[in-house]
Structure 1
Amino acid sequence: MLNVKPPSGRWRTPPFDPRFPNQNQTRNCCKNFLDYHGCMKKMNRRGKSTQPCEYYFRVFHSLCPISWVQRSTQQIKNGNFAGKI
């Protein structure tokens, strides 16, 4: 479930998301992190390709500090992540 390999292809910055119009992109980071892991969980459970989840992966890796991603990923592995996936 925890794929840390980046998808192939070029990606510079995520596109504008009107849900997060402000300069502070913390909520955007968190939302895309949760969406990615939720997408992976659903696709794996259904036995389908996880390729559609790559969008969320690219966005949260572009927006989130590496330390946040590492800490949250470790919390998911340990089973003590506070967010709902």
Structure 2
Amino acid sequence: MLDIEAQKPPREKWATPPFDPRFPNQNQTRNCYQNFLDYHRCLKSMNRRGKSTQPCEYYFRVFHSLCPISWVQHWNEQIRNGTFAGKI
């Protein structure tokens, strides 16, 4: 597993997400979607354990950098309606 703390730059210096070797191509659509899923899985896991959700912030920042806002809004709406196709 990647060390999240080692990859997080200081808040004021966050420009673009770091390179992820799972997604080496120019098209970052899958990277966007995977980080969206990872964020929600992280939240679910941390809330279930009663721990801080601060480590999930990495995934949040990555998918917000990569994903179009309209996609995120659509996926969040699907999650609220219970129709989201991804496994969280």
Larger radius of gyration: 2
- Structure 2 counterparts to residues 53-68 of structure 1, below 5 A: 53-68=56-71
Q: Once superposed, which parts of structure 1, at least 4 consecutive aligned residues long, lie more than 4 Å away?
A: none
Which residue does 2:11 correspond to in 1?
A: 9
Structure 2 length as normaliser, TM-score? Answer: 0.86
- Aligned-residue Cα RMSD (Å) equals 1.1
Q: 2:72 aligns with which of 69, 75, 79?
A: 69
Unaligned 5+ segments in structure 1 are 1-7
Unaligned 5+ segments in structure 2 are 1-9
Tell me, in whole angstroms, the C-alpha distance in 2 between the residues paired with 1:17 and 1:9: 20
Tell me, in whole angstroms, the C-alpha distance in 2 between the residues paired with 1:19 and 1:32: 11
Percent of aligned pairs with the same amino acid = 81
Figure out how many residues of one structure are paired with residues of the other and give that number.
78
Whether 1:81 and 2:84 are equivalent positions in the alignment is yes
Which protein has the bigger helix share?
Answer: 2
